[in-house]
Structures are given as C-alpha cells and as structure tokens.
Amino acid sequence: MNTTDRNVTAGGFEIYFNKTVGFLTRHGISLLGTRILAVRGRTSGEWRSNPINLLTHDGARYLVAARGNTQWVRNIRVAGGGELRLGRATEAITVTELPDEDKLPIVSAYFKRWGWEVARFFEDLPKKPTDEQLIKVLPGVPVFRIDA
C-alpha cells in the first residue's frame, strides 16, 4: 500500500472511545485539547463532524490526521476549512495543508502528546517514535495548519 493512501478505520474500542470523547466535547468538556471538527461534505454539502485532537505547537494550531486520508481529510481539502466546536462555542477556521518536509516537528509533538492513543494506527511504530521512524510515515499523515 502506498503510504500516502493510508486510511485506518476505527475498530470496536476506537468507536466507543470516539463516541465518548465526542459526547464530552459536545458538552463543553475538552480532554487534552479535543474539539469537534465540522466540515461540509465534498459532494453532499452537509456538515460532517468528528472528534479531533487540536495541537498547539510554537504558537500555531494544527489538525493532524493520524488515521491517514480519512473522509474529514478529503472534505477539508475541498472545503478549505470548517468549524471547531467545544460545547456551544463554534469557531470558523481555514486551513493550509503542510508539505511532508514541514511535518516532522508537528507530528513529533503530536506523538509526544497523544502517542498512547494514536500509535496503534501505525504498524511497527512505538508510542514514542524517533524522528527517523516518524520521517518514514510522514507521507501518510496529513497535517493542516489552522490559519489566523
């Protein structure tokens, strides 16, 4: 499989975990920076939402798609942005996708914060990977900077 086409689907535990985190986030409780990302569907135009881990790194905010080229990634590429929601608060955002050569510090920070949660989406990648290990997976990890 081409690493840029990586799309890891959620299993039983992940579905339960995402539903729980989503419920809490929709009710205003953020766990380690979680938000609900809402993006218009690229063909339907309807709002689609997913719980995400919002990363702040060196003063900028990022969305990291640990599962690869998921539906929200495909939708946000077309829409150019969406909304971040926490409880009743909604923030409209626009995003810029980072090229592979700019991803390493972001993905490294993401793994330091959420490696316990996302390492299982990568074969043979430990919860605390080295930079060399991360460089190999960067093409399959979409990263978006949230523009001010």
pLDDT tens-place string over residues 82-109:
999 998 899 999 999 999 999 999 999 9
Q: Computed over its alpha carbons, how large is the radius of gyration of the chain?
A: 15
Q: How many domains does the chain have?
A: 1
Domain of 82, CATH number, reads 2.30.110.10
Q: What is the amino acid identity at position 5?
A: D
How many other β-carbons are positioned within 10 Å of the β-carbon of residue 72?
Answer: 22
Question: Does residue 132 surpass a pLDDT of 80?
Answer: yes
> Residue 42 domain-assigned?
yes
Residues 47 and 79: their CA atoms lie apart, in Å, by 11
Enclosing domain of residue 48: 12-147
In order of 55, 135, 137, 142, 144, the CA distances from 104 in angstroms are 14, 7, 10, 11, 13
Given a contact cutoff of 8 angstroms between Cβ atoms, the answer to whether 87 and 27 are in contact is yes
Residue 30 has pLDDT above 90, yes or no: no
Mean pLDDT score of the chain, rounded to an integer? 85
Handedness of CA 9, 71, 147, 96 (dihedral sign): positive
Residue pair 64/143 in contact by the 8 Å Cβ criterion: yes
Domain assignment present for residue 6? The answer is no
CA 112 to chain centre: 14
